[in-house]
Amino acid sequence: YVTIDEAHGKKLFYYFVLSEANPSNDPVVLWLNGGPGCSSFDGFVYEHGPFNFEMGKTKGSLPKLHLNPYSWSKVSNIIYLDSPSGVGFSYSANESDYVTGDLKTASDSHEFLLKWFALYPEFLSNPFFISGESYAGVYVPTLAYEVAKGIDAGVKPILNFKGYTVGNGVTDDEFDGNALVPFAHGMGLISDELFEEVTAECKGNYYNPASTSCENKLVKVDENIQDLNIYNILDECYHGMEATKTTTGNTKLPLSFRKLGETERPLLVRNRMFGRAWPLRAPDDEVATSWLNNESVRKAIHAEQASVAGGWELCTDRILFNHDAGSMIKYHKNLTAKGYRALIYSGDHDMCVPYTGSEAWTRSVGYKIVDEWRPWGSNGQVAGYVQGYENNLAFLTVKGSGHTVPEYKPREALDFYSRWLAGKSI
């Protein structure tokens, strides 16, 4: 734990994994999951942590751990951070701290980094990167901005910050909100006729429909895609839209733009909550839940017992979170103009934050293309496509992957990650 606010007893929990290659020289990477409200143990257990978890034989029994050949710790030291306070094992003695937002989370996480590097000064000279996915599309650039500002102001310790990566990241209401219709058409989920009609009626503005005729066409789009798995359109769907007729937010929008209901899966699964661009991912989290709520495991990883920090949940509803930072595009422009490297990557079968939106906003930044759209490879196969812009900004797709790239395509994810960290061509 790192204490962010002594008076409030506000503590952030981290789990630090040393590089399996050369820890004293390899980059240090901070990993953040999204939500808001999801624990970064999501990344540790299900995505790129050092272990693959095999479900225990009986319900509630501990999973078996196997080494993960595609762990990101093969090439980097990783800090998995539970943020903001109230998420995962992070907690505060003062519950008012559970009301927070983008800007407070960024300043708290910056405070965490300063204190963490003060505890481990031997890592100060290593290249430092920030990485995350989903709602961390907001966490990463806002924190990177705080870090860059701190470096410019000479705040000690001086962090050797080099750049950041964002996977299937929430970025901008309009770009993200308008991404679904072109994605659905490109993937063959809606007909040419419907695409032409909805484009004509909505004039490209699907996120905030200006007319009833546009809304009516969006309902038709929705009817075509509502029974697909939003996190990976190739996966089986476990929710079915009839599970949720209750609406939240903008009731003008069709259901698939607003909320996913609870799944009917036999195993313990959190509510899937989501508004167009606010994914709160809920895999089958039995493995993580049984492991991280076991008192001896908690003791071993130095997490507080449940009586202090609360039970571990993959995604919590204990925080009240305000999206107060607006669009991320200005942050990306500011950081890349300062010389920080940025890799924006997308699993191309995610319908929650579709690649079409990420591709469009990276292009909208207006930088010159220096590495024209081309395939990139892994294990002798095309693994996706990449386009490089000036100022070290790159956009990359991962072929066939869903919302959480390292979970769906672990080998390919490690390949592009290690090449990018090393500053090589992907």
Residues designated catalytic: 134, 350, 403
In our burial notation (b when 16+ CB lie closer than 10 A, e otherwise), range 326-360 reads eebbebbbebbeeebbbbbbbbbbbbbbbbbbbbb
> Are the C-beta atoms of residues 261 and 272 closer than 8 Å to each other?
yes
> At a CB cut-off of 8 Å and minimum separation 6, what does 188 contact?
none
> Are the C-beta atoms of residues 347 and 355 closer than 8 Å to each other?
yes
Q: How far, in Å, CA of 70 to CA of 410, rounded?
A: 6
Instruction: Give, in order, the Cα–Cα distances in Å from 119 to each of 1, 106, 123, 126, 157.
Output: 11, 20, 10, 15, 10
> At a CB cut-off of 8 Å and minimum separation 6, what does 150 contact?
110, 114, 159
Cα torsion 104, 106, 109, 113 to 10°: value is -130
Q: How far, in Å, CA of 278 to CA of 298, rounded?
A: 30
> At a CB cut-off of 8 Å and minimum separation 6, what does 380 contact?
none
Strands, sheet with 393-398, edge to edge from the N-terminal-most edge strand: 14-17, 77-81, 28-32, 128-133, 161-167, 341-347, 393-398, 381-389, 369-378
Q: How far, in Å, CA of 260 to CA of 352, rounded?
A: 11
Tokens for 77, please give them.
């030291």
Q: Is the peptide bond before 36 cis (omega within 30 degrees of 0)?
A: yes
Q: How far, in Å, CA of 12 to CA of 2, rounded?
A: 5
> At a CB cut-off of 8 Å and minimum separation 6, what does 22 contact?
none
Q: How far, in Å, CA of 304 to CA of 380, rounded?
A: 46
Q: How far, in Å, CA of 149 to CA of 397, rounded?
A: 30
